[in-house]
Amino acid sequence: MKTLQIVLGILAACASAGFAQQGPVVIENDHVRYTVSAEGKNLAFVDRSAGVDYLKRDTQSACALVRCNGVEYPATSAFLAKGRLTIEFGKANAKAVLRVESRQSYIHLGVESISGDNVESLVFLNIPLTLRGSDECWYWADKFVFEIQKHLKKPVGMEMSAMWHHF
pLDDT single digits (tens) 45-84? 998 988 999 899 898 999 999 999 899 999 999 999 999 9
Examine residue 153 and state whether it is found in any structural domain, yes or no: yes
Residue ranges making up the domain that contains 51: 22-166
Question: What are the backbone angles phi and psi of residue 11, rounded to the nearest 5°?
Answer: -60, -40
In order of 4, 5, 6, 11, the CA distances from 1 in angstroms are 5, 6, 9, 15
Cα(126)–Cα(78) distance, integer angstroms: 13
Average pLDDT over residues 9-21: 43
Examine residue 149 and state whether it is found in any structural domain, yes or no: yes
Whether 6 has a pLDDT exceeding 80, the answer reads no
Examine residue 9 and state whether it is found in any structural domain, yes or no: no
Classify burial at 63, counting beta carbons within 10 Å of its beta carbon; exposed 0-12, middle 13-18, buried 19 or more. Answer: buried
Q: What predicted TM-score, i.e. pTM, was given to this entire model? A: 0.71
Examine residue 16 and state whether it is found in any structural domain, yes or no: no
Examine residue 61 and state whether it is found in any structural domain, yes or no: yes
Chain segment 100-140, per-residue pLDDT in tens = 999 888 888 889 999 998 898 898 888 888 876 555 544 44
Identify the weakest region by mean pLDDT among 2-16, 86-100, 106-120, 131-145.
2-16
Please name the helix (run of DSSP H) or strand (run of DSSP E) that holds residue 163, with its range, or none. strand 163-166
Examine residue 13 and state whether it is found in any structural domain, yes or no: no
Question: 10 Å Cβ neighbour count for 49?
Answer: 9
In order of 70, 94, 149, 159, the CA distances from 119 in angstroms are 9, 8, 16, 21
In order of 18, 126, 136, the CA distances from 132 in angstroms are 40, 16, 7
Count of domains forming the chain: 1
Chain segment 145-162, per-residue pLDDT in tens = 343 333 344 443 334 344
CB 77 within 8 A of CB 18: no
Question: What are the backbone angles phi and psi of residue 57, rounded to the nearest 5°?
Answer: -115, 15
Examine residue 127 and state whether it is found in any structural domain, yes or no: yes
User: Of 122, 57, 45, whose CA–CA distance to 87 is shortest?
Assistant: 122
User: Of 45, 47, 46, 89, whose CA–CA distance to 64 is shortest?
Assistant: 89
Examine residue 4 and state whether it is found in any structural domain, yes or no: no
Whether 14 has a pLDDT exceeding 80, the answer reads no
Cα(83)–Cα(158) distance, integer angstroms: 27
